[in-house]
Amino acid sequence: MKIKDIQNDIIDEFAMFEDWMQRYEYMIDLGKSLPLIDEKYKTEDHIIKGCQSKVWVHAKLDDDKLIFTADSDAIITKGIIAILIRSYSNQKPQDIIDADTAFIDEIGLKEHLSPTRANGLVSMIKQLKLYAIAYQTQLN
């Protein structure tokens, strides 16, 4: 499935909820289903800088596609990274680099986060794209 299709699915899912409390609950549920990062990657090297909470992300290349795992010490943040990983995991690095993030605005996520969480969201996207750039460089 292409990134844009996954993002459209996420937009449709968020549209089903009437208010932001329901959407927050849904994000928390998504966080609970997140493929967990191996404990050996819960190190300073894997922490995303710029997040209020601790967020660890690991990426590996498997069959020319990036596979992400992550965890966070905060339930909302864990839900946010789960949404991003759902969008970008199991995709080719170049596709991740080229993908836009308009779906974040379309679901209204950024406007319903505190300024520090919104900054953390930007940092998470940046880090996932940096992984994609690093692996794309290896493929070239």
Residues with catalytic annotation?
51
CA distances from 15 to 5, 9, 31, 98, 106 (A): 15, 10, 18, 25, 9
Tokens 């993908």 -> residue: 99
Helix (H) or strand (E) holding 66, with range, is: strand 65-72
What DSSP state is assigned to residue 114? Answer: -
User: Could you give phi then psi for residue 72, rounded to 5 degrees?
Assistant: -145, 155
